[in-house]
Amino acid sequence: MLNISDIMQTVNMIDHQHLDIRTITLGISLYDCADENINSCAKKIYDKICSKAENLVKVGCEIEREYGIPIINKRISVTPIAQVAASCNGEDYSIIGHALDDAAKTCGVNFIGGFSSLVHKGFTNADKKLINSIPKTLSETELVCSSVNVATTKAGINMDAVALMGKIIKRTAELTAQQDGLGCAKLVVFANAVEDNPFMAGAFHGEGEAECVINVGVSGPGVVYKALQEVKGRSFDVVAETVKRTAFRITRMGQMVANAASERLKIPFGVVDLSLAPTPAQGDSVARILEEMGLEICGTHGTTAALALLNDAVKKGGVMASGHVGGLSGAFIPVSEDEGMINAVRKNALSIEKLEAMTCVCSVGLDMIAVPGDTSAETISAIIADEAAIGVINSKTTAVRIIPAPSKKFGDTVEFGGLLGAAPVMKVNQAGCSEFIKRGGRIPAPIHSLKN
Amino acid sequence: MKAIMTVIGSDRVGIIASVCSLLASMDINILDITQTVMEGIFTMTLLVDTSTSKHSFDEIRSALIQRGEDEGLNIHIQRTDIFNAMHRV
């Protein structure tokens, strides 16, 4: 029989250290839903999602009960809608947004991602229509998430798209002003977006993907934090080894759940995303892991190095535990969704500039950051451009999910509730950058993109 | 289906009897059992086979959780696969 201490370790991880499967995300291709008539297209999309995802939540709950492991989210990602809707008549794609929202509600999932567009090199007519429909869609729907890829290492940065997204984010905040700009929490601007990311708000079912696929995102900052408490004062060699061992266990569990879900739903397994995804709950924070390494508070000098070690060790530990690793894979640092990050911002220890440095060494970017409501569209675009540059030059995914919270000032707090948490409004550099953004065009791909 | 049960609570007379009689009443076979008391906390793990029972896994799980609530014990039942995945390479 298994060792009693191993068994109790697993039970304790689940009961006391927030070990869970963060999401089972069903990717569904919608290419066969294209139709000249946008209403017919929307109906086909609704019908296909409801038929493919019919059993997703039921099976997820079954696995939760049988294995005793919480599966926090069951979600759906779909083909970027700009590609599906390209042959539709009409300008307003929010009709399709509503179909996605209705389908998500019928299936019982808590988010659906893919109201998306890939414009890293340029816009098609459909891309323009989709992007212009984002503010209305996010303000009128509850569960739809949107993402726009504005840059890749291969193509460079589409600065016209960067400029446009600043305006779209501002407009989305205005239309959801009564909820403190909640719409912007469901909108991600990417560089080097991945096609198989199971996490929201940036999930979509990429063009290289199969008809349907199961992707799983694991979590477990609390487990890593607890493991590091056991090696206080020891060298970084020991810290790295401890994180690797813990990540291995977490990922093995994720792979097992992915296999079980794939078998029961009769849908192929895609990837496990090895991510340390925090929640606002006490003891489920990435920031607290960094502090456990010896930092007084997250954001102080040393934070970037601590995060680099953590991010790398999570990947090294996880990669052997899974057949296929994908998605974003690394540590997430969403401010509003991490109790320790919120604390660090409130104590003025963590700034946007420091977060930007941290995004150079972790899996995503400036995530769930609230800024004053009077922040200009150009400043938001420039923040996006900086993040995109980090992603493009370092051949990694970066993203910006920023909320210019209407009528909020530096020091206020924005409450989103649930997994989205609460975000302290952060200070933004006041110096202008509008002439920079106004230039438009493309920032060329870096020299190291020429690998052939 | 083979599953691991864990029972945790303050030590007192009759915990094993209570849990095992409930398992017997549902025709669940115990394949292995390990028990210890650490600092007054009773900890028991059991390897059980539910395939001999006519009850569904959900019914078994609910009955065990209910018994745990009635007697102030923390009882889990989980498929063995999760422990094998996490602790066996």
The full DSSP string for A5-17 is HHHHHHHHHHHHS
Q: Tell me: the pLDDT tens digits for A33-75?
A: 999 999 999 999 999 999 999 999 999 999 999 999 999 999 9
| CB-based contacts of A142, cutoff 8 Å, min separation 6 | A101, A105
Distance of CA B80 to the CA centre of its chain: 12
Tokens coding A430? 């006041």
Q: Which of A192, A166, A150 is nearest to A393 (CA)?
A: A192
Q: Which of A430, A401, A443, A425 is nearest to A168 (CA)?
A: A401
Upper half-sphere CA count for residue A29 (Cβ side, 13 Å): 11
Q: What's the pLDDT score for residue A22?
A: 92
Q: For residue A246, which residues of chain B lie inside 8 Å, CB to CB?
A: none
Residue with the two structure tokens 């420039």: A382
The answer to whether the CB atoms of A10 and B87 lie below 8 A apart is: yes
Tokens coding A298? 């997250």
For residue B63, give the CATH number of its domain. Answer: 3.30.70.260
C-alpha span between A384 and A401 (Å, rounded): 9
C-alpha span between A353 and A331 (Å, rounded): 18
Q: For residue B87, which residues of chain A lie inside 8 Å, CB to CB?
A: 2-3, 6, 9-10, 249
Q: What's the pLDDT score for residue A274?
A: 87
Residue with the two structure tokens 């059993």: A55
CA angle A186–A102–A52, rounded 5-degree value: 100
Among chain A residues, CA nearest to B83: A7
Parse chain A into domains and list their residue ranges: 27-191, 215-440
Q: What's the pLDDT score for residue B88?
A: 83
C-alpha span between A380 and A163 (Å, rounded): 9
Q: For residue A255, which residues of chain B lie inside 8 Å, CB to CB?
A: 85
C-alpha span between B42 and B46 (Å, rounded): 13
- For domain A215-440, the CATH class is alpha beta
Query: For B1-89, where are the alpha helices, taking DSSP H only?
Result: 15-25, 57-71, 81-87
C-alpha span between A50 and A101 (Å, rounded): 11
Q: Which of A84, A174, A167, A155 is nearest to A131 (CA)?
A: A167
SS3 A428: coil
Tokens coding A315? 């990947």
Strand B74-79, strand B29-38: pairing = unpaired
Where does residue A89 rank: exposed (0-12), middle (13-18), buried (19+ CB within 10 A)? exposed
The shortest C-alpha distance from B40 to chain A (Å) reads 16
Q: Which of A103, A101, A115 is nearest to A47 (CA)?
A: A103
Q: For residue A9, which residues of chain B lie inside 8 Å, CB to CB?
A: 87
Mutation for testing the B interface, residue in A3, A8, A9, A11 having most B CBs under 10 Å: A11
Q: What's the pLDDT score for residue A1?
A: 61
| Residue B37 touches partner A, C-beta closer than 8 Å | no
The interface predicted TM-score (ipTM) is: 0.88
The shortest C-alpha distance from A106 to chain B (Å) reads 25
The shortest C-alpha distance from B82 to chain A (Å) reads 6
Q: For residue B79, which residues of chain A lie inside 8 Å, CB to CB?
A: 66-68
Q: For residue A66, which residues of chain B lie inside 8 Å, CB to CB?
A: 1, 57, 78-79
Q: What's the pLDDT score for residue A131?
A: 98
- Give me the residue from B57, B76, B83 closest to A6, CB to CB: B83
CB of A88 within 8 A of CB of A41? yes
Q: Which of A78, A79, A145, A75 is nearest to A110 (CA)?
A: A75
Q: For residue B51, which residues of chain A lie inside 8 Å, CB to CB?
A: none
Q: For residue A3, which residues of chain B lie inside 8 Å, CB to CB?
A: 87
C-alpha span between A424 and A349 (Å, rounded): 12
Q: What's the pLDDT score for residue A364?
A: 84
The full DSSP string for A341-393 is HHHHHHTT---HHHHHHHTTSSSS-EEEEEEETT--HHHHHHHHHHHHHHHHH
The shortest C-alpha distance from A269 to chain B (Å) reads 17
Topology (CATH) of A27-191: Anaerobic Ribonucleotide-triphosphate Reductase Large Chain (3.20.70)
The answer to whether the CB atoms of B77 and A68 lie below 8 A apart is: yes
The answer to whether the CB atoms of B86 and A8 lie below 8 A apart is: no
- Give me the residue from A1, A10, A68 closest to B34, CB to CB: A1
| Residue B7 touches partner A, C-beta closer than 8 Å | no
CB of A264 within 8 A of CB of A63? yes
Among chain B residues, CA nearest to A250: B86
C-alpha span between A149 and A166 (Å, rounded): 13
C-alpha span between A171 and A403 (Å, rounded): 11
C-alpha span between A54 and A16 (Å, rounded): 32
Tokens coding A115? 């109201």
Q: Which of A58, A56, A36, A54 is nearest to A46 (CA)?
A: A54
* Two domains, one topology: A27-191 and A215-440: yes
Q: Tell me: the pLDDT tens digits for B25-38?
A: 999 999 999 999 98
CB of B77 within 8 A of CB of B60? yes
C-alpha span between B9 and A71 (Å, rounded): 26
- Give me the residue from A4, A65, A255 closest to B34, CB to CB: A4
Cis? peptide before A34, omega within 30° of 0: no
- Give me the residue from B1, B43, B86 closest to A10, CB to CB: B86
- Rounded average pLDDT per 10-residue block, chain A, 452 residues: 84 89 96 97 98 96 94 96 95 97 97 98 97 98 98 98 98 96 96 95 95 94 94 97 94 94 96 90 92 97 97 93 90 92 95 96 91 97 98 96 96 88 93 96 96 88
C-alpha span between A100 and A77 (Å, rounded): 10
SS3 A111: strand
Q: Which domain holds residue B77?
A: 2-87
| Residue A67 touches partner B, C-beta closer than 8 Å | yes
Distance of CA A12 to the CA centre of its chain: 28
- Give me the residue from B8, B57, B87 closest to A66, CB to CB: B57
Residue with the two structure tokens 């984002």: A134
